[in-house]
Structure 1
């Protein structure tokens, strides 16, 4: 067990990513999937069952993180994020070798709409889509190019050493001690106008929204000690981004299959 733990630590360090610090945590992703599950059209829901079998969008939402240990999927390591420096747009920003979250989502949607995929490829793309729509709504997945999406911003969360990315991915959500269905029940109350507006935005709009929250996200005390106040100032945004991701994921899947 000691050697297994050492191997896991060295694997993640070698890939320049810390465990549990590169994505919405499991609760966040599953909440996004659960919200989307409840907003699918009848035709889309039937097709999701055809493709995923007995698994729900919530249940497959973390698959893309689970496959990181498989070298066959290393090509997708850069798909979880994109980099847009301050003052730039996606179009003017340097492009990530191997693709990024915007490129990947646009590619996956086009492939799903093409109706040319095998069932296995369709299932894989749908699993990718569920995860990446969640990722792009986490503000620090649209990085500024300076601190690896907040991974290099060292902070304390209630006295425990961590980094800013981890606070946004997992720690604020986990501190509420909700299951993903409980969190979905709390946040899943969009108005009809919000659903229409959110679903009409493009993938690149989603990224620019995440970028627009940088000042708020990076407003931290000089001592780096975060606790109740930071959560109070930011958890409404966490809830909003999770809800928007779920609503938009449903909109994309409905569009693909309707």
Structure 2
């Protein structure tokens, strides 16, 4: 048998050559598997764990009272030390990701998108790595979210605005500020921020500030993040609340007219009664 194998090799037998090639392929397959497990798989898991830590730091950054100053420092260091310039509309999460990783814009966007999606889905930062692994990776999260992101965000923003407009009619609370003690600052906005100081569970209003466009965006971003994942259900609830608010607002408007111009209010009532009568007659005719 040994002699036959030698003769086969000397005669360049295709069978022996094939077995030798397959053997080498098997060796390389084992080498690739070891490489994949040692570098690719373990490297991917290490990346997800690192992004989970960045996620936790991003949450800590959001809770900082001097958040804007901190982000400004990050931007400055990125620009001056690493030559990385960030745009004004770059999210704070992406700025943090680029500062830590020095990744290019596309990679940083993929990483920050995964973090922001996890936050939107209320995934705890300690469980981020497992969440990404189960979702198929950071790139899969970005790809699946790309088509629906814009429409989904617009819908959430619309719901948030509808909710706030409805709250104007049904506010959580209301009070009047003394106009003499109120500081008149430049700028005007439909929304304002009250700066408060707490003492023994009571809030003391120190100043009122109009919200500029940049701050308004951050306020709405915060509201959007707080919305439940089931947009269909929350949209139904907010729409119902909005209809209730519109009805209440119409009643309030009519009461104001009755108080200031009773003759006009009486005329409006007569017109409404005539319209209702016409509708009833029309329905009977059908």
TM over 0.5: no
**Under a length normalisation based on structure 2, what TM-score does the superposition of the two structures give?**
0.27
Larger gyration radius, structure 1 or structure 2: 2
